[in-house]
Amino acid sequence: MKKIDKIDVLNFKSYNGTIFDIELTYEKFGQPIGDAPIVLVNHALTGNSTVSGEGGWWNPLIGDNKLIDTKFYSVLAFNFPGNGYGSKLIDNYNDLILGDIAKIFLIGLERLNIKTLFAMIGGSIGGSLIWEIAALSPKLCKNLIPIACDWKSSDWLIANTRLQHQILNNSKKPIHDARIHAMLCYRSPKSFEKKFNRTVNEDLGIFNVESWLLHHGEKLQKRFQLSSYKLMNHLLSTADITNKNECKFSEIASKIIGNIYIVSVDSDLFFTDYQNRDTFYKLCKVKENVFFKTIKSDHGHDAFLIEFNQLSDLLFKIFSKKSSAVSLWI
């Protein structure tokens, strides 16, 4: 039985002055907090805090003798408040932005008496949240690893979250239909061609790509709640550490002390490789300890949930127990 702990964050004031009583739930893995270097793992849009163990969505990367070795590290994962995983739902989601979630996570770390992190790692919106946390607390973390994401929501991303919003608020099967659209953003044309090659599901009389999309819509509909989906989709659209003043990015990013490892996916249609490279080039002008790594995959955005061997190879030196970065941080 998973143990999900909870921190009550009462009277939290959001960016627009709305007051919330927040339930921040979390799970811990590996070594006790305080006894080992701490890794904060941020989940993606429909994910949760179960990053390892039974049902763990990043099991190939987190566990005993894996990339993030739970025999050596303390691993902490918060749930986005309102995602329905052990916490109450949030109906007035428009009164929150991703920067508010960063503030709530920082309150959680403070309550757990955590003053420093060895690493923060996460993909998609979880990676964008790393940028938000670092902007608010630039000395907190030694190694920042945002994967398949960026510090801001692009016009393309905002357009897609708007379409998701329209589906979630107007469809008769909102979660089902929104998921079908989202899967087109999470994969790539080449991945579909390789996987399906215009084959037909004879039983249903439709193309296999269609039955696959319908399956994913039905699967999410069974395990996710509408208000949670609306919340997470809205938060994704608000990613922006500069608060809509892009010229401030270099100023904000230059204050981040830790190493930044930007991990891009070359076929990502959601947070594009080009977008990540642009962020890297801008960072290099104001900061030396910035590194760029690429997952080479046909799978598109979801490659960070599929290409585990590549991720392990790309990030091995960061988490190696023989690494000077680790030994200096203990």
pLDDT in tens, 311-325: 999 999 999 976 544
Both 65 and 164 in one domain: the answer is no
Over residues 46-73, the mean pLDDT reads 97
94 and 11 part of one domain? yes
Q: Pick from 171, 206, 235: which residue ends a domain?
A: 235
The domain boundary residue, chosen from 192, 218, 235: 235
The model's pTM is 0.95
24-43 tens-digit pLDDT: 999 999 999 999 999 999 99
User: For 256, left (φ over 0), alpha (ψ -120 to 50), or beta?
Assistant: beta
Judgement on whether residues 250 and 213 belong to the same structural domain of the protein: no
Domain limit, last residue, from 183, 204, 235 = 235
Distance CA 325, CA 6 (A): 31
* CA dihedral for 214, 219, 222, 226, sign (positive or negative): negative
The answer to whether residues 180 and 81 belong to one domain is no
Query: Domain check: are 184 and 125 in the same one?
Result: no
Q: Which domain holds residue 260?
A: 5-154+241-329
CATH number at residue 35: 3.40.50.1820
CA–CA gap between residue 31 and residue 50 (Å, rounded): 16
Residues 248, 140 share a domain: yes
Residue whose entry in the numeric block shows the structure tokens 């990339």: 67
pLDDT at 66 over 90: yes
Domain tally for the chain?
2
Quick: pLDDT tens for 128-151: 999 999 999 999 999 999 999 999
- In whole angstroms, give the CA distance from residue 183 to residue 186: 5
Please say if the pLDDT value at position 329 is more than 60: no
Q: Are 108 and 38 in contact (CB under 8 A)?
A: no
Q: Are residues 95 and 52 in the same domain?
A: yes
CATH number for the domain that contains residue 165? 1.10.1740.110
Q: Are residues 191 and 133 in the same domain?
A: no
